[in-house]
Amino acid sequence: MKALSASTARRSLLAAPALLLTLSLCLLQPAPALARDAAPATHLANIVILATGGTIAGAGAGTANSATYQAAKVPVEQLVASVPELKDLASVRGEQVFQIASESFTDEHLLQLGRRVAELARQDDVDGIVITHGTDTLEETAFFLNLVIPSDKPIVVVGSMRPGTAMSADGTLNLYDAVAVAANPDARGKGVLVTMNDEIHSGRDVTKAVNIRPDAFRSAWGPLGMVVEGKPYWFRLPAKRHTSGSEFDIARISALAPVEIAYGYGNVSPTAYQAFAASGARAIVHAGTGNGSVSNRVVPALQALRGQGVHIIRSSRVTAGGFVLRNAEQPDDKNDWVVAHDLNPQKARILAAVALTRSNDSKELQRVFWEY
Known catalytic residues are 55
Beta bridge partners of 226: 199, 233
Residue 191: closest CA among 253, 252, 137, 234: 234
Residue 282: closest CA among 299, 264, 260, 262: 260
Please report, as a single letter, which amino acid is at residue 303. Answer: Q
Residue 218: closest CA among 277, 151, 135, 112: 135
CA dist 234 and 224 (Å) reads 6
90-to-39, 44, 80, 86, 246 alpha-carbon distances in Å? 19, 5, 12, 6, 28
DSSP structure string for 51-71 = EEESGGG-B-SSTT-SSS-BS
Beta bridge partners of 193: 156, 202
CB 127 within 8 A of CB 183: yes
